Structure 1
């Protein structure tokens, strides 16, 4: 083998090769130097826009964070009091499968499935509750109608370079470039993902769709994304139906189901996913979407069966493995759940939540040496956003081994990390009541109710305290609130019969 001359790329070809190798910052720097020499180089201009948009790209199928405006000022929900099982606000509490009381819950009151996903709760209590407790991006104010990611993207273009923003949209001839098929897609993605200007992005997509004689499914999907961001769900649904009539794509089915979920039409979303499976047999995106919707509706058995079907198609799907593992754990099979969690660990995933789950499974399976090491590993790797949950689980372990003093200390530490952790407040209140500190326990239960009205344990325990003190009317009202949150709680129903 002879040593030949080394080929070095320069100019646009160098930038394009760096872009193909996903070295976006280097490609952007090369494009910037080329544009300083020739600002009218359209190919370099388009490539730089693609580099900037790819650096902040987030799949819209996974971008489901909703702020207060979208959550509480929603005008697209059809039924205000839907039948159980037909709305995310009224899941099936009597469905077959595990009792919802046996599943872990978020601060919003919804049972967890084993992994935390965006939009795991659709209606988190009241507007007042969300304003007082919801925080995002480590700020001191409640999340508004835009997510933290969008706030970051909205100011990202100002830091594009020393020369200011890359594209001055106010002076750009939108109609001219939106009608040019050579650059309109790059321009749209730059405005949509990087600048986060939905008005201009909608204008680009509308002009491009018109120039294509309304026969390009791509631009109909992009219009639907703009309408979805703007909260115009009916218009987004029309665009996606039109796109599917032209060409059936996985993305189109998934986006349409997402829109229907936002409109609180889970039955229609399940039908859309089923139609997607008819066109794309055993597609993981469709199967996962069905499993998520069924879980949100309280149909846990069907959801787990669908996750197992996902694993038959894609054996390394972490979400499906975690959900099946959680189901086995709460079914009293910690040894089987441990096998699934260890499988996730073997796949290279390393997080405090995973180590905590492994520790709890080992503890339930009486493998105490592995349980202690896993819980210590979870403590050493936890971040601030999960620290409260880690210490809450440690408190649960301490109660199981009879160390109530250490359990109370663990719950107190959890509250230092997250003062709104209502589960820790309830358990700490129970321990205070056991020690005879009635006033402190009442304060704990009241605080838990104020922070999370959807968690029935606070109302139920406070009702028991009021019943012991002879406050029967107050106890009756609290039992009623607990039954509103969980109608099938046997102890609450027993209290109403007394």
Structure 2
């Protein structure tokens, strides 16, 4: 017979196991027990704990990590009040990254966005599309790969998050923010921090969150770095980047934290100051040597500035610290592919498969690497798997576009075999492609020609044997 836990400990257990819905429901039952108590400042300690735990559970249900750089949309582009110079110096702006630096692959080989940024090997919010330079380009901007919707603005995303949070409380909001006495809660740090995260993330009420954070940091006599970071986050959400910069800098003076460095770098990137962000990351590495997020941040900036060789070096440093970092593996593999090294790129993509990454994009890349590495036996099977895993029309179109290269290659190989009948390579490759597309008769004919040109070729002999066995079964 199992032991029954106290309801509060049971709710805490649900929270630790990330079962936030069960945690919230159990806390609601605990909050209904004390009659007449509507605020968490009563003498009931269990009531305060249940109230705080429920706010944290509701927050975790809609929590989104804001450290990654947000996608700039039409609103941010046209209402940018932080622009200092219309024409930035080369190598100092993300809007005009310029040509490739450091001997990396040419932009003519590596696909770029409308703004000139190279397409990265890993989709991030800041790399879904280039920042349009005009309103006409912004209107014509294609749909993003992640949302399949036109890019509008970052503020619209937070509105949708706030709308989605209403689904967690079908009976209405858990806390009526208009009736809260924020000054009273600011004097209780434990309750104030949970309340702030609930207001900021769940209710998306930046104004009330900022008021609470300002009162709390004043009560702490401006000595609590955590509240300064929260004020900076509120300023950033409101578009007050210089004020956010001051708060993050003040927090770093009191306490060195990796997240604070990342938030401050995020401000500099929004202000289009990548060189300042790079210096900040490198200073952070002096305090936190080997920190993966800081090294990865440097690599991202170099990649967006089209300095591919430097980005690849820092991504390699990331793998030295964390050899399972998916973004670093994908970006290094992409860099090798566009550097005419598909065999090496294939090793990195196979590593992702071994790690359990299993999606359409990965098999599409594997198929391309196999095709350019002339490993035709795996090319079509990889593309077939990519088609099976495609989740929307855009992904399907990408796979079929790449399959078109295979069809063109088959025609070119047929031409090459007619021009150089003494060479076995065109005959053998044409036989492999024909066998994969189901044209077995032409595959057998080409394999025979390959055997005549090179009688000792083992792969040709194995292919002929497979085709003979198949014909014998018909």
Q: What residue number does 1:28 align with?
A: 24
Instruction: Please give the alpha-carbon distance, in whole angstroms, between the structure 1 residues aligned to 2:389 and 2:115.
Output: 25
Q: Aligned to 2:85, which of 70, 79, 83?
A: 79
Structure 2 residue aligned with 1:406:
none
**Residue 43 of structure 1 aligns with which residue?**
49
Q: Distance in 2 between matches of 1:100 and 1:233?
A: 32
Aligned counterparts of 1:63 and 1:91: Cα–Cα separation in 2: 17
For residues 176 and 263 of structure 1, the distance between their equivalents in structure 2, rounded to whole angstroms, comes to 36
Whether the aligned pair in 2 keeps the contact of 1:135 and 1:143 (CA below 8 Å) is no
Q: Deviations over 1:433-476 (max 9, x none)?
A: xxxxxxxxxxxxxxxxxxxxxxxxxxxxxxxxxxxxxxxxxxxx
Flag the 1:186–1:348 CA change in 2: closer, same or farther, 3 A: same
1:153-179 CA distance string (max 9 Å, x none): 212343333431111111111221133
Counterpart of 2:404? 395
Corresponding residue number in structure 2 for 1:322: 330
Residues 445-464 of structure 1 correspond to what in structure 2 (within 5 A)? none
Decide whether the 8 Å contact of 2:360 with 2:390 is kept in 1.
Answer: yes
Q: Give the alignment partner of residue 111 of structure 1, picking from 115, 118, 131.
A: 118
8 Å Cα contact 2:114/2:130 also seen in 1: no
Aligned length: 398
Question: Which residue pairs with 2:456 in the alignment?
Answer: none
Structure 2 residue aligned with 1:334, among 327, 331, 342?
342
Between 259-268 and 110-119, report the one with greater CA deviation. 110-119
Aligned to 1:350, the other structure's residue is in SS state coil
Q: Contact between 1:157 and 1:166, CA under 8 Å: does it hold in 2?
A: no
Tell me the distance in 1 between the aligned counterparts of 2:153 and 2:296: 29
Q: Distance in 2 between matches of 1:145 and 1:113?
A: 21
Q: Please say which of residues 383-392 and 213-222 is displaced more in the overlay.
A: 383-392
Deviation at 1:140, TM superposition (A): 7.3
- What is the SS of the residue equivalent to 2:190? coil
- The Cα shift of 1:108 comes to 6.3
Matching residue of 1:101:
108
Matched, 1:361 2:369: yes
Residue deviations 1:237-265, cap 9 Å, x none? 10111011111111111111111011000
C-alpha change, 1:91 and 1:144, in structure 2 (3 Å) is closer
Q: Residues of 2 paired with 1:89 and 1:226: CA distance? A: 25
How do residues 10-25 of structure 1 correspond to structure 2 at under 5 angstroms? 10-25=6-21
Change (3 A) 1:162 1:211: same
Q: How far, CA to CA, are the matches of 2:326 and 2:408 in structure 1?
A: 31
Taking structure 1 as the reference length, the TM-score comes to: 0.76
* Pair 1:273 & 2:288 matched: no
Q: Is the 2:27–2:50 contact (alpha carbons within 8 Å) kept by the matching residues of 1?
A: yes
**Cα distance 1:400–1:71, how it changes in 2: closer, same or farther (>3 A)?**
farther
- 1:303 paired to 2:303: no
1:78 positional shift: 1.9
1:199 and 2:195 correspond: no
Distance 1:246 1:48 in 2: 31
In structure 1, the partner of 2:234 is: 226
Bigger mean CA offset, 284-293 vs 6-15: 6-15
Question: Which has the larger displacement, 261-270 or 175-184?
Answer: 175-184
Structure 1 window deviating more from structure 2 (96-105 vs 81-90): it is 96-105
Please tell me whether the aligned partners of residues 113 and 130 of structure 2 are also in contact (alpha carbons under 8 angstroms): no
Provide the rounded CA distance (Å) in 1 between the counterparts of 2:256 and 2:291. 13
Listed one character per residue, the Cα deviations across residues 142-196 of structure 1 (whole Å, up to 9, x for unaligned) are 5145243x23321234333343111111111122113311211111111111111
Alignment-derived partner of residue 126 in structure 1? 134
- The separation in 2 between residues aligned to 1:357 and 1:400, in whole angstroms, is 17
Q: Is the 8 A contact 2:115 2:130 kept in 1?
A: no
Shift of 1:10: 2.8
Could you tell me how far apart the structure 1 residues matched to 2:67 and 2:122 are? 17
Backbone CA RMSD of aligned residues: 2.1
TM-fit CA distance, 1:356 = 0.3
Please say which structure displays the higher CA radius of gyration.
2
Provide closer, same or farther for how the CA distance between residues 123 and 272 of structure 1 changes in structure 2, counting only shifts above 3 A: same
Question: Using a 3 Å threshold, how does the CA distance of structure 1 residues 290 and 211 change in structure 2: closer, same or farther?
Answer: same
- From 273, 277, 289, give the equivalent of 2:297: 289
Deviation for aligned residue 1:126: 1.9
1:112 Cα offset (Å)? 1.3
| Gap runs ≥5 in structure 1 | 404-498
> How many angstroms apart in 2 are the aligned matches of 1:72 and 1:401?
48
Report the Cα offset of residue 214 of structure 1.
Answer: 0.7
Counterpart-to-counterpart distance in 2, 1:175 and 1:221: 19
Separation of aligned partners in 2, 1:280 and 1:387:
43
